[in-house]
Structure 1
Amino acid sequence: MSRPLRKDYRTADFEQLSRMIKEHPLMKEPGAEQQHLHKLRTPEYRTKCVMRASLDDIALGINLYKLQLDTPMSPTLEEPNYLKEPASSARSAHSARPPATPFIKVLLRKTPIVVLFERRSMTALADTKEGRQVMEDNRKYDELLSGTDKTRRTVDADTQTKTALMKSRLVNTERLTTAQMGSYVSNFEMYDTYTDLEKSTTSVQVQGEKKMEITTYHVGGVDQFVGINSLPGFRLALMLTMRILASNVFEPQQRRYRNMAPPDPLAEDVKFKYRLGLLWRLSPPLSDPKVHQAVSDMSFCPSNGDIMAVAYGVYSHGKVRKLPRSGWVYVWNIKNPVNPERRYHYQVPVVTVEFSPTQPQLLAIGLHNGGVEVRDISGQDLPPLAVSQRSSSPHFEPVTAIKWIYFEGDVGCRNPHITPFLATSQAGAVTKYRLINSPNMLGLEQQRFQRAEGELEGIPIERQPPAASLLANRHPQCLEIVLDPVQADIYYVLTDEGTLYKCSTNYPLQHLELRQVHDGPAACMEFSPWSPRMYLTCGSDWCIRIWLAGILLPIVTLQHHLSPVHCARWSRTHSTILVSLSRSTVDIWDLRNSTMKPVSSTVIDADIFYTTFKFTHCGRSLAVGNEAGNLLMLSFEDMPFPPHFQYKQLKRAIFKALSMQPDLRKQVKSVGYFGYPGGTKQTRA
């Protein structure tokens, strides 16, 4: 006969377990301090039973709980026989679902790291004192751990750390040992030593007006410092040391010159102010500050834009009472903006300098007495490579401009890569110089211009006939020479009459075209980097004119200041921006904005007149010279971003400027495409 199954047959076990939990120390009534902390806890935290235990304690508690539930009841708690179920009831109870294990939520918290003992590993050579000490420590450690109960539990695990030593034995050097040694020197020996030394103090000029005293000693009447300074190795080491010292002061400016941090096109605070910032000032260390030394010309090395040659001489005779009897050519490097790295002295002022595009170490120098020299700047204190001679170039007027040319079929050069160059002078002559197997250059006269007469193409001016024909005034003064960007044999010459001569090296002693570009001396001319048919000219009539080949009149005329424009050049990064230089301002023009006034005018050293300027190779910096002999290196700041289609932007700006001149607009439109093939940028060295 079966009995009904009692569901509370383990009630006594659960009552015993609950009694043990209540008697546990954690379940006792908290004190006053614990009650205060309990109030500060969150309601969710109050409902939880929190115990501080390790993982081993939790696992051990769960196993013990399972054992207590699975063990049979004690005899005292065993039920009487009359309450036991029969076999059928036992089978049904055996098939019943076992009670589920209570759910326990484990919350793991990070505890602070407690370092009980730490022993850093050390590697030493076995044949040294340190190595022997390490081996002794390892032996003692093994003895301490020897025995059955002293074995340390170790676990082997793979890691990604390399076991190979990163330092080889060869890099370890022996420890230096020092010792004190005594010596005896009498007063007589000290007196004889200092008697042989002749002390001399000289004052050396540093950075313009600053002076520094240097004390040297002479041994046997010979200055030791002079002998050391004449060594090539010492001078090279001194040059490199000065570069390192200068970089400590001019490092931010040198980074800006190298364009290491270009402007971000995605910046939110972009402003277009067309501003020029001063990077540094190159001041020549002249021995006599009263001597007038103006920056007459400059030239950047074609292969290395950090190197530039500067000519110091006479630019304007207004403030010069008499002609200086000296001139200099300094070769500067932006790595050392304090002192030049090459110096060449001349007995007459230097007018112009120009680097060779094929041999960048060659520098052509034009002098005020009509002489021309070519120097190799790769070495220090090298003599001139070639000098012009009076038999082939009998002109005594100043050489105003030099341009290296190249055309196939040129023979007679000492080196096939050394090309001839053209030099213009104030005598109205263009001379072609060529280096031959001789210390003297071979000079051939290419052109000899005559004064223009009658009405010419270009701008209309009233040309007065000369009152008397003077032999000294028959020829105009040549002021500038420019090479054609496409045709290698074509070059252009500007004169003090404001005329532009188009000539060819294939047709000497005759010009191809003649045009009146200014009502006064024409100082500068340059082709646009994005158009071989568009060029600008500037002169003493206060104007900058933009011309287009095939049109007789200028398409755009820019005029703002009532002063001569010494120089004007196209920007290397923007097709519609050009920079002009007057006596006291550096103006930036943007044809997209306005042709009536420049977008910005920069004045630095207003009491000193500017002479000339040139762009760097990258086009984001500008070198400006003045009559005080200072060369100002300026950088373009807050400039607009270059357009992707430069030629289209230039054409759009030109047609916008001609919106009020329909006849001239039709002529420009009839010219058609006036850019380079593909609209790319192309310049000649």
Structure 2
Amino acid sequence: STKMYSFSVVTLFCSSFVGSSLQSNMSAIASLTNESEDSSQKLDIPINPPAPCEVLKENDNIEQTVTEEMLDEVAEICLTETDTISLLDIPSSIFVTEDADDAGVIKEKNNQYAELCKNRIGNDNYLEESAQTFSGAPKDKHTQSDKIAKEDKGMIATTWDIYDSFFDQNKSPDNDKDDYTESSVGTSKDQEKSGEKSGSSSSYTVATGNSTWLILSESFRHSLFVMERIVVGKIFQPKLAAYRQLPILKGNVVMLIVEDPDSTAKPGTEEQSEEGEESASSPSLEYLWAFSCELTKGCNITSMAWNKINPNILAVAYGDFDLSNCKPSLICCWSLKNPMWPERVFHCDSWVTSLDFSAINPSQLAVGMYDGTLAIYDVQRQNNNARIADSSKCSERHLHPVWQVNWIKEETLFLREGGAEALISVSADGRITMWSLLNNGLGGRDLMELKSTQNTKKKRKAAGTKTKTECFLSVLTRGLCLDIHPTDSCIYLVGTSEGLIHKCSLSNSQNVLETYQKDLCPVNHIEWSPFSSDVFLSCSSDQIQLWKQDYFTPVFSFTSTQEVVKTIRWSPNWPTIFAAIIGRQLEIWDLDSNILAPTIVHHAAPGVKLMSLLFTTGTDCVFLGDSDGQITVYQLKNLSVGKGEKVKLKANK
């Protein structure tokens, strides 16, 4: 059978090309018709009516086999163009159609612009010039940064560390409570039954807990602090009871008199009678204990001060004035509840020469130093921030050693405006300075300049009147000691290196009120009597003088040896008793019994020098500091003087 193929293609080629192609196509169709008729006659196939032909649609796909003869034939192909398809249509904002709403406005503007361009020709108001816009020149800038520091760190976790970590996470709080309960019960009860075995097992249970966290906790440290005080108080109970004048516990309580095995204290000896035996009823000193630790061994005790609110706190300054022997300078705050170790320890850059506690702010400790610095420490703090203020940045700071500092009470005249407590210091540079606590440190102003006396004239009035001394002042002299009047805080006494004692006032910074002088030896210490407001003691390099402020010569002079008198102290309990350090011995004077010789003489141990002296308030004890870093506590025994008595002084005529 022969199949007929027809192609209908529309093309847009030129007419000549279409005409030639039509002639060739007609010849080709005629040849194909002849060949098909010849081939059908030759085939022996029954003639059947032809099957109805299927009309192929234009879009139907026809599968056919293409032969080589078909490829050689000429085919007519007509190509047609499809409609234009718009994928994206963005209307222009420059061109507007005539149907737009604003078409009329735009036409009017265009007409105005055309009229403007037409009138510009030949008009002097318009000038055509060319212009060029300059762009900013680029600039290169370079920056430099620190090198990024890199550090490699490594860590290792062992198998048992991982196990313990996961075990603690999975452990419930109830289990922890049960374990601690078993541990505590086992420690208290099982130890009695099982002896050493149960004790070791209970210790192991506690050790496997959070021991590090427990030791570093604040509650545990406070518990240790209280426990230490209880243990030390148990050991020193007889001595502390004697100090506080309390009965010693007896009965079931075992009395232990324990001395520190590390202590090198040598209490010394008291002078005995000519027979070599001291009577049991004669006055004497009884050794109680000594404040000492490893930090303070070998250091000179330069100053001591009681806390004015808490009588159990004692501040002690340690230093060494020997330039060839550089030892650390310390400030230790001792408590009577623990005589074996100080509660606070502060390290200082320079040697401490004087201490004094504040009465209004009992935690503030004023410190005078050898390099001229005045500092205030807060003893409630335990770290390096205890030093809250100093005079190092003040323009009025002292240039020489500060030999004494004293707090002034709040009711002082110059302090009523500010309402704060202030300090008075005396220095070897000849200046007496008042200090106040500021935000950035200590601020000071000079109260008095101690000028040297070059010429002295004495003028005597009529008989029975007192003698005055007229002084011509010039260069400054060193100030060595200072004390404020016990009832009038505006009045104070100053001792100088020329042997003069000046009575000064805070309201007069130009002239001294009175001047007292016995000899030319330096005045080492001055102290007002706590019972009589017009009596004071002074000590110089050769003797002790008792003064009355209305007389310019001493009422009494006391001397027992030719050695230097370092310091003197009035007893706060007995008005007729004072103590003095003379050379290497301590002397206790009782003016009610003897004004010619001391009542008690205590010698220091061999090789030890006595440096500082302090009485206690409310008890009959005296604290004695030496050159070996120890504060020895002695109790005065068998003194026949009564408390509250006053001494009547008569002036020497």
TM-score, normalised to structure 2's length? Answer: 0.58
> What corresponds to 1:312 in structure 2?
318
Q: Deviations over 1:320-342 (max 9, x none)?
A: 25263631100000110010000
Contact 1:501–1:512 under 8 Å retained in 2: yes
What amino acid maps onto 2:595 in structure 1?
A: T
Cα gap change, 1:245/1:431 in structure 2, threshold over 3 Å: closer, same or farther?
same
Match for 1:580: what amino acid?
A
- Kindly indicate whether residue 397 of structure 2 is the aligned counterpart of residue 394 of structure 1: yes
Give the aligned partner of residue 528 of structure 1. 529
2:305 equivalent to 1:299: yes
Which residue is 1:617 aligned to?
A: 617
Rounded Cα–Cα distance in structure 2 between residues aligned with 1:352 and 1:493? 15
Counterpart position of 1:476: 477
1:339-394 CA distance string (max 9 Å, x none): 00001001221111110012111111112211111122123224322221333333
Give the residue type in structure 2 aligned to 1:446: L
Letter in 1 for 2:580: S
**Structure 1 residues without counterparts, runs of 5 or longer:** 1-172, 181-215, 263-269, 656-663, 668-685
* Superposed counterparts of 1:58-77, under 5 Å: none
Alignment partner, residue 249 of structure 1: 235
From the superposition, tell whether residues 429 and 499 of structure 1 become closer, same or farther in structure 2 (CA, over 3 Å): same
1:543-558 map, 5 Å = 543-558=543-558
SS in 2 for 1:451: strand
Residues 124-523 of structure 1: pairs in structure 2 closer than 5 A: 232-261=218-247, 272-286=281-295, 293-314=299-320, 317=321, 320-322=322-324, 324=326, 326-381=328-383, 382-406=385-409, 407-410=412-415, 416=419, 418-436=420-438, 438-455=439-456, 474-523=475-524
Residue aligning to 1:114: none
Question: Percent identity among equivalent residues?
Answer: 24
Counterpart residue number, 1:162: none
Residues in 2 aligned to 1:439 and 1:412: alpha-carbon distance in whole angstroms: 20
Question: What secondary structure sits across from 1:309 in the alignment?
Answer: strand
Q: Secondary structure at the match of 1:308?
A: strand
Q: Which residue of 2 aligns with 1:579?
A: 579
Distance 1:457 1:420, change over 3 A: farther
> Quick one: distance in 2 between partners of 1:497 and 1:261?
50
1:562 maps to which residue? 562
- 8 Å CA contact retained: 2:573, 2:617: no
Map 1:591-602 onto structure 2 (within 5 A): 591-602=591-602
Q: Is the 8 A contact 2:331 2:346 kept in 1?
A: yes
- 1:326 to 1:393, Cα distance in 2 relative to 1, 3 A: farther
User: Is the partner of 2:242 in helix, strand or coil?
Assistant: helix
Q: 1:277 to 1:604 in 2, by over 3 A?
A: farther
Contact 1:299–1:355 under 8 Å retained in 2 = yes
Counterpart CA distance in 2 for 1:228 and 1:454 is: 73
Alpha-carbon distance between aligned partners in 1 of 2:457 and 2:569, rounded to the nearest angstrom: 25
- Aligned residue number for residue 605 of structure 1: 605
Q: Give the residue type in structure 2 aligned to 1:548.
A: K
RMSD across aligned positions (CA):
3.4
Q: 1:526 to 1:177 in 2, by over 3 A?
A: closer
| Structure 1: distance between partners of 2:238 and 2:526 | 34
CA contact (8 A) 1:500 1:517 kept: no
Distance 1:535 1:555, change over 3 A: same
Q: Give the total of aligned pairs.
A: 410
User: Cα distance, 1:419 vs. partner?
Assistant: 0.4
1:175-201 Cα distance to aligned partner (Å, 9 max, x none) = x99899xxxxxxxxxxxxxxxxxxxxx
Deviation, structure 1 residue 546: 0.8
Q: Name the aligned partner's letter for residue 529 of structure 1.
A: P
CA distance in 2 between partners of 1:615 and 1:364 (Å): 20
- Checking the alignment, whether the CA contact within 8 Å between 1:392 and 1:444 is kept in structure 2 is no
Counterpart residue identity of residue 349, structure 1: W
Aligned partners of 1:546, 1:379: CA distance in 2, in Å? 41
Cα distance, 1:619–1:455 mapped onto 2, change above 3 Å:
farther
After superposition, what is the alpha-carbon deviation per residue over 1:558-615, rounded to whole angstroms, capped at 9, x for unaligned?
A: 1101201111222233322222111211111222332222122112324211112011
2:417 and 2:442 mapped to 1: Cα distance?
A: 11
Note the C-alpha offset of 1:230. 6.4
Output the CA distance in 2 between the equivalents of 1:348 and 1:230: 33
Distance 1:257 1:615 in 2: 12
**Aligned-pair CA distance for 1:271:** 5.7
Gaps of 5+ in 2: 1-180, 191-206, 249-278, 460-465
Which SS does the other structure have where 1:393 is aligned?
Answer: coil
Matched-pair contact (CA < 8 Å) for 1:325–1:348 = no
Change in CA separation of 1:369 and 1:177 when aligned onto 2, cut-off 3 Å: closer
In 2: Cα distance, 1:637 partner to 1:431 partner: 41
Contact 2:585 2:603 in 1 (8 A): yes
Residue identity opposite 2:391 in structure 1:
S
The structure-2 alpha-carbon separation of the partners of 1:353 and 1:643, relative to structure 1 and needing over 3 Å to count, comes to: closer
- On the 8 A contact 1:456/1:515 being kept in 2, the answer is no
**Kept after mapping to 2: 8 A contact 1:363/1:376:** yes
Greater mean alpha carbon deviation, residues 240-249 or residues 388-397: 388-397
Shift of 1:278: 1.5
**Is 1:632 the equivalent of 2:632?**
yes
Deviation at 1:396, TM superposition (A): 2.7
Q: What secondary structure does 1:385 align onto? A: strand
Instruction: Tell me, in whole angstroms, the C-alpha distance in 1 between the residues paired with 2:344 and 2:573.
Output: 31
Partner secondary structure for residue 387 of structure 2: coil
- CA drift of 1:403 comes to 0.6
| Letter of the 1:504 counterpart | S
Give 1:534 shift.
Answer: 1.3
By how many angstroms is 1:619 displaced? Answer: 4.7
Q: How many Å apart are 1:279 and its aligned residue?
A: 1.3
Q: 2-side partners of 1:479 and 1:610: how far apart?
A: 19
Show CA shifts across 1:369-428 (max 9, x none).
Answer: 111111221232243222213333332311111111131452675xx4x40010111111
Asked if the contact 2:379/2:386 (under 8 Å) is kept, the reply is no
Larger radius of gyration: 2
Aligned-pair distance for 1:556? 0.9
Residue 439 (structure 1) shift: 3.4
C-alpha distance in 2, partners of 1:583/1:308? 25
